[in-house]
Amino acid sequence: MSQHEEPTQDTTEPRAAGDLGSLPGDGTYATEFARSVQDHEGFWLDAAQRVDWETAPTKALDDSNAPIYRWFPDGVLNTCHNAVDRHVQAGHGDRTAIIYDSAVLGFQEKITYAQLQEKVAAFAGVLAGAGVGKGDRVLIYLPMIPQAAIAMLATARLGAVHSVVFGGFAPKELAARIDDCRPTAVVTASGGVEPKRRIEYLPAVAEAIGMAEHTPGTVFVHERDGFEHSVQEMQAEADSSSSGVAWKSWAGAVAEAEPADCVPVAATDPLYVLYTSGTTGTPKGVVRDNGGHATALAWSMENIYDVAPGEVMCTASDVGWVVGHSYIVYGPLIAGATTVIYEGKPVGTPDAGAFWRLIQDHDVKSFFTAPTALRAIRRQDPEGELVKDYDISSLRTLYVAGERLDPETWSWASRVLNVPVVDHWWQTETGWAIAGNPMGLEALELKSGSPTVPIPGYQVEILDPLGDPVQRGEEGNIAVKLPLPPGTLATLWGNDQRFIDSYLSAFDGYYATGDSGLMDQDGYVYVMGRTDDVINVSGHRLSTGHMEQVLSSHPKVAECAVIGVADDLKGQRPSGYVVLKAGADIDEERLIQELVAMVRNQIGAVADLKHIAVVDALPKTRSGKILRKTMRQIADGVEAPVPSTIEDPAVLEAISGVLRAGA
């Protein structure tokens, strides 16, 4: 399939629910996928053998409380033991567990598994001394430094529950999460380091605690040089306000603590709560369990990412997001691999070759990033010239997730890196890939615009509005037949009914992903965008993601967004916004004419995309997702509060006038 070729529509009758249809490959993937959905017990009990258990499970699935399912109900384990201690006990203590690479500080550090065990046990002792025990919550608000992973693992070591909040979130959002999960302790740092500034964390944490109804007992601070506020200052303020909060230095507390051992927990006990980004009102806390999570990540490291013990995986994300939880911290360490904690940016630290330097310096085999990072690199280095400055021969595969990977960026990355570029699709709620290319199980053909196939365990269906499966090639709602596999959300924190209402009520017997897309005749999945990004133009349902795919294929376009705006005549109409590549020299009026013609030729006149504006940048969340909903609200004249997750509010302010003009 060429990069602009669309999957063709099948002419057969719609499939019945549960019909697996044709599956690609030489049979290995097809066999494992079929077994995963037809024999939950056998498949996942086999997968669970990759995990060390205090009490091995004899049963995989507990469906007694459907539609809420539990995995490995009689299993007992500790996730920290699986990520750290077992590798030391197996004689691999000298193997590198974490490589800390701070491009903003010009500093690198390697931490072995034995050193990590010592650091984690010590900080677990600190938390225990502050009253943290099994089931208690610890809120972690840290930048991309090793202490983030250490704090997560130390919490898990005690059988407690961590909730990581992206460092730099506003106090109001932090306070909402404090009130929802009610932590016994908070773990933070002096601040975060950006290429051109330093972000002070301590005043934000103090303000959040002052705003929250719940008051954590202790705040532990990893002190970093070069920041204005200190632990002593925070303690003095707490004393003067009689808040009752104890502010303590991480290093000082560790020096006085006794190391703590791993505490066994039930497989169904929660490991962490992670709040979905961009929430409004009461935060929506995704709950991940211990046993299913460890099993799924161990399986995925081997079968999706093809990473073996001792090999290096670099995931350029943040521990505040689900990708960081799964594939900076837990996945690589459970697998006995080496993980890179990167404190830097894809461009600007110092240039668009930052990722390639990481691969060279650390012999990275598997690199994982977001499409928006690749587009930023491509915008600064359109021909990929900086790749030539580095030896990236260790790299075997580039994995991309977080947003739809447009065909032009996929083609560009494939060409300049000369390795497979594997798009895969998942969500905060699922914790690991719904669809992808199982490179360690069977490397399937890559198709531009598709995250390949459903991963074993995920029985993906494309449903019409009534919940019936549609024909292959026809777009609809992407849903996953229940039960979801291990490692996915068990529920929402403190609210089973909200979990059911939010995800399990739209289609009986399915998890509604909230995304629209299709599946071609070969069984490949195409994710076109969120269901609210499907617009209705004069009665025609059109995907704005499809239009973005066309716009991004123009050689001068670095990235783009298409939103549906209200139209008195047609109901909705599309409005496009494009960012040009660095150094692009073209008349804007001519460019817009070319883009309009491309959409008309490739989608048809029904698309009716006539308004396209060239902008300097698109508003994004800190995780790199374009704020299409906020853009649409502004264009429609709706009051749109600035999301707490926004990376740079100035970008949204700059584009607001263009959005209103486009409406």
Q: Do residues 119 and 247 both lie within one domain?
A: yes
Specify if 12 maps to a domain: no
The pLDDT of residue 541 is 56
Only one residue has tokens 């066309």, namely 550
Q: Do residues 130 and 162 both lie within one domain?
A: yes
Of 474, 500, 529, the residue that ends a domain is 529
Specify if 281 maps to a domain: no
pLDDT for 414-455, tens place per residue?
999 999 999 999 999 999 999 999 999 999 999 999 999 999
Of 529, 559, 582, the residue that ends a domain is 529
**In the predicted structure, residue 539 carries a pLDDT above the cut 60:** no
The C-alpha atoms of residue 482 and residue 484 are separated, in whole angstroms, by 5
The mean pLDDT of 507-527, rounded to a whole number, is 94
The pLDDT of residue 603 is 75
Specify if 4 maps to a domain: no
Diameter of the chain measured on Cα atoms:
74
**In the predicted structure, residue 117 carries a pLDDT above the cut 90:** yes
Specify if 462 maps to a domain: yes
The mean pLDDT of 605-619, rounded to a whole number, is 86
Whole-structure pTM value: 0.84
The mean pLDDT of 524-548, rounded to a whole number, is 73
| CATH number for 358 | 3.40.50.12780
Q: Which residue has the higher pLDDT, 163 or 279?
A: 163
Q: Which domain holds residue 163?
A: 113-270
Q: Do residues 547 and 656 both lie within one domain?
A: yes
Q: Out of 36-50, 474-488, 490-504, 544-558, pick the least confident.
A: 544-558
Going by their DSSP bridges, the two strands 453-454 and 435-436 should be labelled as antiparallel
The pLDDT of residue 29 is 96
Q: What are phi and psi of 369, to 5 degrees?
A: -150, -175
Q: Do residues 266 and 306 both lie within one domain?
A: no
The pLDDT of residue 280 is 44
Sign of CA dihedral 339, 345, 346, 347: negative
Specify if 209 maps to a domain: yes
What band does 115 get if pLDDT is binned at 50, 70 and 90? very high
Q: Do residues 515 and 591 both lie within one domain?
A: no
* Percent share of the chain, pLDDT over 90: 73
pLDDT for 281-312, tens place per residue?
577 899 999 999 999 999 999 999 999 999 99
Q: Do residues 460 and 345 both lie within one domain?
A: yes
Q: Do residues 587 and 655 both lie within one domain?
A: yes
Q: Do residues 427 and 470 both lie within one domain?
A: yes
Q: Do residues 345 and 208 both lie within one domain?
A: no
Q: How many CB atoms lie within 10 A of CB 586?
A: 14
The pLDDT of residue 3 is 35
Q: What are phi and psi of 500, to 5 degrees?
A: -65, -45
The C-alpha atoms of residue 289 and residue 546 are separated, in whole angstroms, by 36
Q: Do residues 196 and 257 both lie within one domain?
A: yes
pLDDT for 355-410, tens place per residue?
999 999 999 999 999 988 998 999 999 999 999 999 999 999 999 998 778 888 99
Q: Do residues 225 and 345 both lie within one domain?
A: no
**Of the ranges 166-175, 245-254, 373-382, 540-549, which is most confident?**
245-254
Q: What is the tally of structural domains in the chain?
A: 3
What band does 632 get if pLDDT is binned at 50, 70 and 90? confident
Smallest Cα–Cα separation from 292: which of 424, 86, 430, 434?
430
What band does 568 get if pLDDT is binned at 50, 70 and 90? low
The pLDDT of residue 636 is 85
Q: Do residues 548 and 523 both lie within one domain?
A: no
The mean pLDDT of 101-117, rounded to a whole number, is 97
What band does 482 get if pLDDT is binned at 50, 70 and 90? very high
